[in-house]
Chain A
Amino acid sequence: MSQREGLFSKRRWEAFREFVWEQNPISFQILGICSALATTTQVKTAMIMVLGLAFVTSLSNTIISLLRKYIPSAIRIIIFLVVIATLVIIVDEVLKAFMFDLSKKLSVYVGLIITNCIVMGRAEAFAMSNGPWDSFLDGLSNSAGYGLFLLAVAIPRELFGKGTILGFTIIPESAYQMGYKDAGIMLLAPSAFIILGLLIWGKTEIEMRAAKKGGR
């Protein structure tokens, strides 16, 4: 970086926005779908997963970006895996020692972060060819985009599957007495595929309309 660039320059904001919307990891890159299915039965677990992912992706991106000139390309994927797994295990151990209650709630999710394709994908696609600060932001922006979609899937799933949001009852008792029933399928994996499909359709539709109007 020969020229001085602000830590939050316009270009960086643009890149951030792009990964939240146009190049959203879930809807555009179709990465991280497995965890999008597993953790979206409840809004709370989805949020925890997003926070965990944001932490791990931004840090692993930063570390790999710092090492990028030294990593032999033949074994780079394995090096990513070692760095990511080490980070995740450290997070898990620290949680177990100092925030035991929280670590119990997170249970399998912390481990699941290792397998999230976004972490690996960003390390390979971005951190290997960009500086540490840009890579850190890249991790955050991808996590934000991931989080946006995870919540968009989790909210209808919890609402129609259990009648609650974040554990608070939304659908009143009287509705159940009138014969309303929770849709059990919302708690199963297929519903996540259906909602995800609808969301991607909706998003593409919005983009196409905008493109027509703007004459892009």
Chain B
Amino acid sequence: MRRSNAYTIFFAGLVCLICSALLTLVSFGLRDRQDLNKEIERKKNVLKVIGVDDLLAKAEGEGTKAIMELYANRVKEVVIDTKGEIIEGLTPENIKSPQEELSVYVSVDGDAVTGYVIPIEGPGLWSTLYGYFSMENDLNTVKGITFYEHGETPGLGGEIEKPWFQQNFVGKKIFGEDGQLRSVTVVKGKAKEVISNEAERKYYVDGISGATMTSTAVTDLLKSSLDKYNPYIATVRNGREVL
């Protein structure tokens, strides 16, 4: 049926107004809960890669408070600059320029340092990948890796979030025999078949079939993220205080 232009414009305006009011209301009303969810998620992801699975599972069963407590007990947050020096008074939450201020999560057990976690990010095939990379306290052996946000194809590149892929990294090394940073490379196919030299295999992990682009992206983002932290790693390995 034909309507006057005035009616059409009025109707369009009304629908838009109602819809945007609804969305504002929903977004405003749920903001706090969503932010809390995100913070817990971030803390859970850090806890996941420092190897306290049992404690984490227990805390998850007990609720959000237990997770916050576990995090406070086991993780110390540090912010460093690009030369590897600690910037006092900053925490990962209030970083202003992510290029110059880098966060490090030091995992502790009592007074002993048990490992280091750094955030990793970089472009994937469809999306930016965000995750955490965790090293033993020798800053060479990989303790774990996790991706908490990505938009890769489920079943293909999306496999980076699956345990089978992440498990491959455990125990790998990031520094070569000559002391140079090598990072870990994701191969096309199975590392066992592609890399013939057995001693070399500790720098390589299995790729995801059908997702070569995402696999390459993981290699690249690991290398570039580790490069940024290399000065810090060097100073800590030279015996500087970590906290």
Give the B-binding residues of A (Cβ under 8 A). Answer: 38-39, 41-42, 45, 70-75, 78-79, 82-83, 85-86, 89-90, 93-94, 96-98, 100, 104, 107-108, 161-162, 182, 184, 187-188
Contact indicator B37/A82 (Cβ below 8 Å):
no
Chain B residues within an 8 Å CB radius of A90: 22-23, 26
Tell me the complex Cα distance, A25–B139, Å.
Answer: 56
Taken residue by residue from 22 to 63, chain B's Cβ proximity to chain A (1 for < 8 Å, 0 otherwise) reads as 110011001001100100010000000000000000000000
Contact indicator A45/B26 (Cβ below 8 Å):
no
Q: A72-B11, A90-B23 are in contact. Are A41 and B3 (CB under 8 A)?
A: no
Q: A75-B12, A79-B12 are in contact. Are A45 and B154 (CB under 8 A)?
A: yes
Chain B residues within an 8 Å CB radius of A107: 151, 154
Chain B residues within an 8 Å CB radius of A42: 154-155
Contact indicator A97/B8 (Cβ below 8 Å):
no
Q: A97-B30, A187-B210 are in contact. Are A86 and B19 (CB under 8 A)?
A: yes
Q: How many A-B residue pairs have CB under 8 A?
A: 76
Within the complex, which residue of B7, B23, B33 is in contact with A86, where a contact is CB–CB below 8 Å? B23
Contact indicator B33/A75 (Cβ below 8 Å):
no
Chain A residues within an 8 Å CB radius of B243: none
Taken residue by residue from 147 to 178, chain B's Cβ proximity to chain A (1 for < 8 Å, 0 otherwise) reads as 00001011110000000000000000000000
Chain A residues within an 8 Å CB radius of B22: 86, 90
Tell me the complex Cα distance, A29–B155, Å.
Answer: 27
Chain A residues within an 8 Å CB radius of B156: 41, 187-188
Excluding A70-B11, A94-B26, 17 further A-B contacts by CB distance (< 8 Å) are A38-B153, A39-B154, A42-B154, A42-B155, A45-B154, A73-B1, A73-B3, A75-B12, A85-B19, A89-B26, A93-B30, A96-B30, A97-B34, A107-B151, A184-B209, A187-B210, A188-B156
Q: A45-B155, A89-B23 are in contact. Are A98 and B11 (CB under 8 A)?
A: no
Dominant SS at the A interface?
helix
Tell me the complex Cα distance, A60–B209, Å.
Answer: 39
Dominant SS at the B interface?
helix
Give the A-binding residues of B (Cβ under 8 A). Answer: 1-3, 7-8, 11-12, 15-16, 19, 22-23, 26-27, 30, 33-34, 37, 41, 151, 153-156, 209-210
Q: A45-B154, A74-B8 are in contact. Are A100 and B30 (CB under 8 A)?
A: no
Closest Cβ of chain A to B154, distance in Å, is 5
Tell me the complex Cα distance, A82–B17, Å.
Answer: 11
Closest 8 pairs between A and B when the two form their complex, measured CB to CB: A41-B155, A97-B30, A97-B33, A72-B8, A72-B3, A100-B37, A86-B19, A187-B210
Contact indicator A78/B1 (Cβ below 8 Å):
no
Chain B residues within an 8 Å CB radius of A83: 15, 19
Most buried by A among B27, B30, B37, B155: B155
Contact indicator B8/A98 (Cβ below 8 Å):
no
Question: What are 15 A-B pairs at a CB distance below 8 A?
Answer: A45-B154, A70-B11, A73-B1, A75-B11, A83-B19, A86-B23, A89-B23, A89-B26, A90-B26, A93-B26, A93-B27, A97-B33, A107-B151, A161-B155, A187-B156
Closest Cβ of chain B to A71, distance in Å, is 7
Chain A residues within an 8 Å CB radius of B34: 93, 96-97
Closest Cβ of chain B to A55, distance in Å, is 16
Chain B residues within an 8 Å CB radius of A182: 209
Closest Cβ of chain A to B237, distance in Å, is 36
Tell me the complex Cα distance, A72–B7, Å.
Answer: 8
Tell me the complex Cα distance, A182–B208, Å.
Answer: 13
Within the complex, which residue of B2, B15, B30, B154 is in contact with A82, where a contact is CB–CB below 8 Å? B15
Contact indicator A41/B26 (Cβ below 8 Å):
no
